[in-house]
Chain A
Amino acid sequence: MDTEKAVSYLSGLLGRTLRIHASDGRMFVGLFKCTDADRNIILANSFEYRMPSASTVQEAAAKETESWDETQVKATRVKVNMSSRLIGLIVVPGHHITKIELE
């Protein structure tokens, strides 16, 4: 891939929803706005998803039908409810990124 191709590939992703997994296990979902050579990625209107703690899972199980503070993430590998919250415009530094997914 030469620079020109690289730019056109990345440009093609602009405005699309990316899921970025960070080194601490969190996932960020938002609109791709910008990146650089170090993969410092800017996402707009993003949500933070975090694996719930063990007790939260239990609590959630106990509650069954009651759904709260949780958003169903319809990802193939994410089957539990992750707690999510709006965090807006963010930069995920390249060296903290473990995985990038395109929705």
Chain B
Amino acid sequence: MSQNDQSELRYVRYDSARENEFVAAMRQLISKDLSEPYSIYVYRYFLYQWGDLCFLAMDDKDKMVGVVVSKLEPHRGGPLRGYIAMLAVRGEYRGRGIATKLVRMAIDAMIKRDADEIVLETEITNTAAMKLYERLGFLRSKRLHRYYLNGNSAYRLVLYLREGVGSIRTSFDPYGPPYPIEQHSTSTAEGNGS
């Protein structure tokens, strides 16, 4: 452990020129860490479109010890939503803040690209991941019953980055009278555009 602690780590952005080597290392790292299995095309899906939102932690021998994979796209025609799909750190390198650093890099990159919000899911048994994201300001927005193949439930964690993201209301009249007494005189006005 102490040996690892002293070794130098480098944090790099995914580089498509090194696809074969990187993807193989990522798959190894992630399949060991996460319960869900992913095919090669899962990686393709993320890396071909959002390779710049993937960050890697490499040790002094250029061996991959941590990875975060994410994407960023409009959600149902609404807010620009970042999604953290996978996060993994080699067992012997845990507890050194590598995961936090990687997630911060991904979030910062998404902020630079004008993300409105960032979401992800995590198994409810994965308390370490939950603590990590909550420390970064994420809130649990909902619980997802038996979400994963292994039957475990999940929490959806969300981080808003901009005011007004949560509002889908378009034509609300803020000067409308409050309910219940006075409201009825003007109640024919359309109050809710959602």
Complex A–B touching at CB under 8 A: yes
Q: A residues bordering B, Cβ < 8 Å?
A: 34, 36, 40, 42, 91, 93
Binary contact readout B22-49 vs A (1 if CB under 8 angstroms, 0 otherwise): 0000000000000000011100100000
Bound together, the chains give a CA A36 to CA B19 distance in angstroms of: 13
Give the contact-size bracket for chain B: under 10
Give every chain A residue within 8 A of B44 (Cβ-Cβ).
36
Q: How many residue pairs at the A-B interface have CB separations less than 8 Å?
A: 9
Per CB-CB distance, the 5 closest pairs between chain A and chain B, nearest first, are A91-B39, A40-B40, A91-B41, A91-B40, A42-B41
Give every chain B residue within 8 A of A91 (Cβ-Cβ).
39-41
Give every chain B residue within 8 A of A93 (Cβ-Cβ).
40
Give every chain B residue within 8 A of A40 (Cβ-Cβ).
40-41
A90 to chain B, nearest CB (A): 9
Q: Across the two chains, which residue of chain A brings its CB closest to B44?
A: A36
- 9 sample A-B contacts, Cβ–Cβ < 8 Å, listed by A number: A34-B41, A36-B44, A40-B40, A40-B41, A42-B41, A91-B39, A91-B40, A91-B41, A93-B40
Q: Across the two chains, which residue of chain B brings its CB closest to A33?
A: B41
B83 to chain A, nearest CB (A): 21
Q: Across the two chains, which residue of chain A brings its CB closest to B39?
A: A91
Give every chain A residue within 8 A of B40 (Cβ-Cβ).
40, 91, 93
Give every chain B residue within 8 A of A34 (Cβ-Cβ).
41
B36 to chain A, nearest CB (A): 15
Bound together, the chains give a CA A42 to CA B41 distance in angstroms of: 9
Q: Across the two chains, which residue of chain A brings its CB closest to B41?
A: A91
Give every chain A residue within 8 A of B39 (Cβ-Cβ).
91
A25 to chain B, nearest CB (A): 21
Bound together, the chains give a CA A91 to CA B38 distance in angstroms of: 11
B174 to chain A, nearest CB (A): 49
Bound together, the chains give a CA A55 to CA B40 distance in angstroms of: 36
Bound together, the chains give a CA A78 to CA B94 distance in angstroms of: 53
7 more A-B residue pairs beyond the given contacts A40-B40, A93-B40, with a C-beta to C-beta distance below 8 A = A34-B41, A36-B44, A40-B41, A42-B41, A91-B39, A91-B40, A91-B41
Question: B residues 41-62 with Cβ under 8 Å of A?
Answer: 41, 44
Bound together, the chains give a CA A40 to CA B40 distance in angstroms of: 8
